[in-house]
Amino acid sequence: MSAAIVGSDVPIGPHHKRTFTGFRDLKKEIAKWNPKALDLWEKFAVPENDDKESFQSSFVRHVTSTLARSVYNIDNFSAYQATAHTVRDRLIKRWNDTQQAHAEVGPKRVYYLSLEFLLGRSLDNALLNLGLKESYGEGVEDLGFRMEDVLDQEVDAALGNGGLGRLAACYMDSLATLDYPAWGYGLRYTYGIFQQRLNDGFQVEFPDYWLNFDNPWELPRLDVVIDIYFGGSVSKYTDNNGRVRAIWEGGEPIQAVAYDVPIPGYGTKNCINIRLWSSKPKRKFDLKHFNEGQYEKAVQAQMEAENITAVLYPNDNHMVGKELRLKQQYFWVAASLADIVRRFKKSEKPISDFPKQVAIQLNDTHPTLAIVELQRILVDVEGLEWDDAWDIVTDTFAFTNHTILPEAMEKWPVPVLTYLLPRHMQIIFDINLFFLQSVEKKYPDDRDLLARLSIIEESSPQFVRMAHLAIVGSHRVNGVAELHSNLIKTTIFKDFVKFFGQEKFQNKTNGITPRRWLHQANPKLSDLITEKLGNKDWLKDLFKLKQLEKYVDDPDFKKRWVAVKGSNKARLADYIKKQTGISVNSNALFDIQVKRIHEYKRQFMNILSVIHRYNLLKKMTPKQRKETVPRVVIFGGKAAPGYYIAKLVIKLINSVADVVNKDLSIEDTLKVVFIPDYNVSVAEIIVPASDISQHISTAGTEASGTSNMKFVLNGGLILGTVDGANIEIHEEIGDENIFMFGNLADKVEDLRHAHRYRNKQMDPALKAVLDDIESGHFGDPRIFVPLINTLTIGKDYYLLSDDFGSYLRAQDMVDEAYKDKDEWAKKSILCTARMGKFSSDRAIKEYAESIWNVEPIPVEEVREHKLHEFS
Ligand SMILES: *Cc1c(COP(=O)(O)O)cnc(C)c1O
């Protein structure tokens, strides 16, 4: 049998075993064993003192006993470690209190299954969320270190590619802050997203071995170990009640070990958990191989077990059908479900109550096998009837779709699933059969409809369409912005809407946490806002930023607002100098596009427009040049290692930068910068420093975007297309405060058709720029041939030519508007003031109320209630 649970009966005292019947019972047991024991527990409980002195005492204790160092050999990194361990102690206390309170109350919990959590750094965030930044900051300075330097020692936890993983991280912050009983489940990759360096303008990848030093932000749970099986075979047997049941036997076990990452809420004692699974070999010899003297083979099986959670796949919005990736997915969902079912069983409630106690959110199709795994547990292990089990499954799961890009749609070959997970493949066929039978009943004889809806793609070999499985197995399906939610209902999932009805399909516009993306990343702006609003309530209710509108015409406030932006730009200019050696003028307009490099995001269009601008500047008289707005165009982002075209875009940006930045004739009116290794902590420096940020995807391709929200929240204006959340940001902040351009989503297919079949003429300005590249102006033009071909023989799939003209006009409007510094300041303030909607708190409340049906459990109220109960 699979998913046996090890460690569920670990003895903790001489007389009893750990039985998971709840914390209170264990406490009673201990009191029975020794009546004075509880006094001792009380006496030595970790004191939760948050003042400067107890920080310092804890810091010094960690330097000497945890790090085995002293004042003679402590450097910034050790100071970081000691600070982190001191904060970790406080986090563990909150984590324990929260989990204990949840166990006492036994509420419905929500489980967020995400293959990616792009957390970034934790120390600064924990200090701010716990309200300890000031006292600990002083504490560490007294001891001889600058908090800034200490914070800068931390490596990012970069267990994600981009927006999807960062969304999961923002959602965990909101779940904690809003006191929801929630857990995240993911994988503890040994290697996070690769580190990007540049060599001759080309991206080169380096492994991100982020666990090189110990990671103070995880709690190893070496006793929470779950066996996960792959392979084996299925047979039938008749149980004691005369029912024929399936049994999955044999196969190779691999152990999943839990590592818990505490996530503290802001302004609350609640601290929730992300449980990350790490794979390791089951400690037993492969006797067969061993007896045959094949030592290497025996060891190899063990090494392969460790492989499962070794690396994060570095593709964003792109499916690569590697078997190891499928194994990661099953390993992760099987361990998570075993854990969730075990926790549910502690409640001793009937299994039919499962959906009343458990909501599981699927972050994209990556965890879709969880649907099959739960059906398997209920039918094969718990012995439920198929239909009863299926009702429980569909009431439990909800699915978030993140993209309509065809190349991103997950599908797995049936033969691969059959040998890795034979029982699951049978269950998928049964799910599909019963589903299609219900479709046939409603729409008799519509065979095309059946083929379109089928979970199985009838190609050779057959494939399992994971999105179809996720829809059929969930009670709610949501998109991540209004346009995207409407598009999925009218395009890729149209037939499902026809069958299931509208109610199943919802919108949940993405959000970002204002704690990290304003309070932490932009402390000066945060302080100014708090001063004006009189308190920090806005950090928990972002709609309160609206009150800033009162001050848009207050000259003193405007001046301070602009000064903050200026100092953030100076901070970024310093960073750029340090990282690239390029000097930029922080009085210039900072024009930023940072995000994963992707054809649909159109960084290529951006750099082509930069060439256009450069050529205009060169043609200008000195007088004309004096009147133009100087610009610094900043790029950043990683290309998937196998994405050749995206990598050429990076090379082109750097080649253009080489020419432009050296050209004295344009007198510092243009600089081009590619910031290497874009990640969360780099984003925290970049985001507060924009005047303009670009979100210029082909309409209909960017499901939401979240960096658009980050920039606008920090008072940066958007230059963007009518796509994703740009549309809703526009709605909130108003026409005057955003620069929108380009064809609309409903025109895209017609334009593509015209490119394919009607010899559409290229925009002449675009043509001129391509000619310039081909002339060798930016280095050997042969390098860029495949890139330019995407616009010619590739039929310009992302419609650069169709949007280029309106893009250039929008750029001109940006320049014009920036000349009026006073008006620009007003726009900037209004941007921030009107971003209330885009807090991830709003998004999480919507999920909680209309999908999960879960309620907040504030730890402190539970504890007060308990005190009453005992007094
Ligand atoms: C927010 C964020 C993203 C998402 O950016 P988009 O522009 O929405 O694609 C990607 N990477 C990092 C590091 C981020 O912080």
Catalytic annotation present for 268: no
Q: Which of 595, 634, 719 to mutate to test the pocket of ligand 1 (most atoms within 8 A of CB)?
A: 595
What is the mean pLDDT for each group of 10 consecutive residues in the chain (871 residues)? 35 33 68 90 77 95 96 97 97 95 96 98 98 97 98 98 98 98 98 98 98 95 97 94 93 95 98 98 68 76 90 97 98 98 96 98 98 98 97 99 98 98 98 98 98 98 98 98 98 98 98 98 98 98 98 98 98 98 98 98 99 98 97 98 98 98 97 98 99 99 98 99 98 98 98 96 98 98 98 98 98 98 98 99 99 96 72 43
Q: Give the integer Cα–Cα distance in Å for 711 and 693.
A: 7
Three-state DSSP class for residue 314: coil
Comparing CA positions, the residue from 845, 755, 851, 841 lying closest to residue 795 is 755
Cβ pair 468, 450 in contact under 8 A: no
- The angle, 0 to 180 degrees and rounded to 10, between the axes of the packed helices 764-774 and 603-619 is 80
**Per-residue tokens: 3:** 């998913």
Cβ pair 560, 529 in contact under 8 A: no
H or E segment to which residue 632 belongs: strand 631-636
Q: What is the pLDDT of residue 195?
A: 98
Instruction: List, in sequence order, every residue forming a beta bridge with 10; answer none if it has no partner.
Output: none
Q: Give the integer Cα–Cα distance in Å for 539 and 541.
A: 6
Catalytic annotation present for 394: no
Decide whether any atom of ligand 1 lies within 6 Å of the 317 Cβ.
no
Fill in the DSSP letter of residue 47.
P
- Find the distance separating the first CA and the last CA of the chain, reported in whole Å: 48
Question: Token match 């699979």: residue?
Answer: 2
Cβ pair 261, 452 in contact under 8 A: no
Comparing CA positions, the residue from 358, 645, 333 lying closest to residue 475 is 358
**Per-residue tokens: 861:** 């109220």
Q: Give the integer Cα–Cα distance in Å for 67 and 70.
A: 9
461: preceding bond cis by omega (within 30 degrees)? yes
Residue minimizing CA distance to atom 4 of ligand 1: 163
Q: What is the pLDDT of residue 20?
A: 38
33 contact partners, CB below 8 Å, separation of at least 6: 13, 14, 15
Question: Token match 């970024």: residue?
Answer: 572
Classify 242 in phi/psi space as left (phi over 0), alpha (psi -120 to 50) or beta. left
Decide whether any atom of ligand 1 lies within 6 Å of the 163 Cβ.
yes
**Cβ count near 233 (within 10 Å):** 12
Q: Which of 365, 509, 706, 832 is catalytic?
A: 706
Q: Which of 601, 625, 695, 837 is catalytic?
A: 601
In angstroms, what CA-CA distances link 368 with 391, 411, 431, 599?
16, 11, 13, 27
Q: Which of 596, 625, 647, 695 is catalytic?
A: 596
185 contact partners, CB below 8 Å, separation of at least 6: 111, 112, 113, 114, 274, 275, 276, 277, 332, 336, 339
**Cβ count near 559 (within 10 Å):** 11
Within 634-763, residue ranges assigned H as helices are 644-662, 680-686, 707-713, 726-733, 748-757
Three-state DSSP class for residue 292: coil
Question: Token match 């297919």: residue?
Answer: 749
Q: Give the integer Cα–Cα distance in Å for 7 and 224.
A: 6
Domains of the chain and any CATH numbers: 584-820 (3.40.50.2000)
In angstroms, what CA-CA distances link 678 with 161, 634, 643, 667?
11, 12, 17, 29
Three-state DSSP class for residue 367: coil
Q: Which of 594, 600, 712, 721 to mutate to test the pocket of ligand 1 (most atoms within 8 A of CB)?
A: 594
Comparing CA positions, the residue from 228, 472, 468, 209 lying closest to residue 329 is 228
**Per-residue tokens: 234:** 């299925």
Q: What is the pLDDT of residue 8?
A: 35
Catalytic annotation present for 706: yes
For the CA of 512, the closest atom of ligand 1 is 1
H or E segment to which residue 279 belongs: strand 271-281
Classify 734 in phi/psi space as left (phi over 0), alpha (psi -120 to 50) or beta. left
Q: Give the integer Cα–Cα distance in Å for 291 and 295.
A: 9
Interior angle at CA 713, CA 707 and CA 715, nearest 5:
110
Catalytic annotation present for 283: no
Q: Give the integer Cα–Cα distance in Å for 33 and 13.
A: 9
Catalytic annotation present for 402: yes
Q: What is the pLDDT of residue 866?
A: 72
Half-sphere exposure of 562 (CA within 13 A, CB side): 18
Tell me the DSSP string of 413-461.
EHHHHHHH-HHHHHHHHHHHHHHHHHHHHHSTT-HHHHHHH-SEE-SSS
Decide whether any atom of ligand 1 lies within 6 Å of the 481 Cβ.
no
Q: Which of 88, 376, 569, 710 is catalytic?
A: 710
For ligand 1, the distance from its centroid to the CA atom of residue 208, given in whole angstroms, is 18
Cβ pair 153, 145 in contact under 8 A: no
Instruction: List, in sequence order, every residue forming a beta bridge with 117; answer none if it has no partner.
Output: 159
For ligand 1, the distance from its centroid to the CA atom of residue 679, given in whole angstroms, is 8
Catalytic annotation present for 43: no
Q: Which of 52, 102, 133, 402 is catalytic?
A: 402
Tell me the DSSP string of 669-681.
SEEEEEESS--HH
- The residue count for the chain: 871
Cβ pair 613, 620 in contact under 8 A: no
For the CA of 679, the closest atom of ligand 1 is 13
Decide whether any atom of ligand 1 lies within 6 Å of the 595 Cβ.
yes
Cβ pair 491, 414 in contact under 8 A: no
Decide whether any atom of ligand 1 lies within 6 Å of the 680 Cβ.
yes
Phi, psi of 264 (to 5 degrees): -80, 140
Cβ pair 396, 362 in contact under 8 A: no
Q: Give the integer Cα–Cα distance in Å for 652 and 637.
A: 14
Comparing CA positions, the residue from 573, 607, 613 lying closest to residue 590 is 573
Chain centroid, CA 198 distance in Å: 25
For the CA of 637, the closest atom of ligand 1 is 11
